[in-house]
Amino acid sequence: MTQFDTSLPSDEVPPFEIVEPAVWRAPIIFNSPHSGSVYPREFLAASRIDEAALRRSEDSFMDEIVADLAGRGFPIVRVNFPRSYVDVNREPYELDPRMFAGRLPSFANTRSMRVAGGLGTIPRVVGDGQEIYSERLDVEEALSRIEALYKPYHRALRRLINKAHQAFGTVILVDCHSMPSVGVSRDEPKRPDLVIGDRYGTSCAALLPDIVEDTFKTLGYSVGRNKPYAGGFITEHYGNPANGLHTIQLELNRAIYMDERRRERGANFRKLADDFIVLADALAVIPLDLLGPFQTAAE
């Protein structure tokens, strides 16, 4: 059984970063949880596939696309460790017992659809279905990664959300992801440039996906909603529109801003970053009283 060091290759690279403006323009946070590309050495040594294959799970460059927003009054959050090592867009203990030597704790969720697909908190496979590990992991290794990386990230994100909520009475968390241009199934229809996920209308006020869709369509993009991505744990967990907590997931088609095979920025990379500024500006002018918190009819 291989033991791992949960530190990143360089002490100068923190597990995640929050870039907060001196003055918030609006209660809008841009989060990039899957763009991390700093691979622990022990992780690479224990993987049966090479780093290039592991990187297929990354939402490559999403953190760079939103980076300019911090200078315009919007905080950004980016994770530096890869999702193939620890996936923060899962429940804290979605774990596949087939991966581990030893018994998982009783509170682990071993039966979720994400675990069944090999994409739990400690993933078993990368995005194209290749197995990551050459041998089973020790259970304590999984738990130590969750304690050292997953939990501190969510504590920091929660503090940032609470800060905005207390200051403005409401908050919008924009969870930024990217998707392969082609799905695994040949029967899947052609993917649009952007898929908006709002957990089928439950994670944010209805006006938010409308504004995002209108903005991107005006900029020339094709837009879909909730299929094939309705939003993961972050969208579901932090979205509570009745209390003024709104979360919306954006899945960008990688083909519009990068070369997927070479994993290089494409000709439209800069334009997409500029278009995210347009989106942030459109969201920033929403009257806060339209975002709650809302009283129920009984109150």
pLDDT digits 0-9 by tens, 84-109:
999 999 999 999 999 999 999 999 99
pLDDT at 12: 72
The yes-or-no verdict on residue 295 having pLDDT over 60 is: no
Q: Chain centroid to CA 58: how far?
A: 10
Q: Give the residue with greater pLDDT, 183 vs 175.
A: 175
pLDDT at 297 over 60: no
pLDDT of 1 = 29
Q: Which token pair is 14?
A: 């923190």
What is the reported pLDDT for 4? 36
Q: Would you say residue 11 has pLDDT above 80?
A: no
Q: Express each pLDDT in 221-240 by its tens digit.
A: 999 999 999 999 999 999 99
Mean pLDDT over each residue of the chain, to the nearest integer:
93
Over residues 154-170, mean pLDDT: 98
pLDDT of residue 9: 52
Name the architecture of domain 16-82+138-290: 3-Layer(aba) Sandwich (3.40)
What does the pLDDT average to over 52-68?
Answer: 96
pLDDT of residue 2: 31
What is the rounded radius of gyration, in angstroms, for the C-alpha atoms of the chain? 19
What does each C-alpha distance from 224 to 108, 191, 214, 239, 249 come to in angstroms? 34, 8, 11, 20, 12
Express as a percent the part of the chain with pLDDT over 90: 89
What does pTM read for this prediction? 0.94
Angle between helices 269-284 and 207-218 (to 10 degrees): 140
Q: Which amino acid is at 29?
A: I
Residue 7: the pLDDT is 52
Mean pLDDT of 2-9: 44
Query: Residue 209: what pLDDT?
Result: 98
Strand ordering across the sheet containing 28-32? 16-19, 76-79, 28-32, 171-179, 245-253, 194-197, 223-225
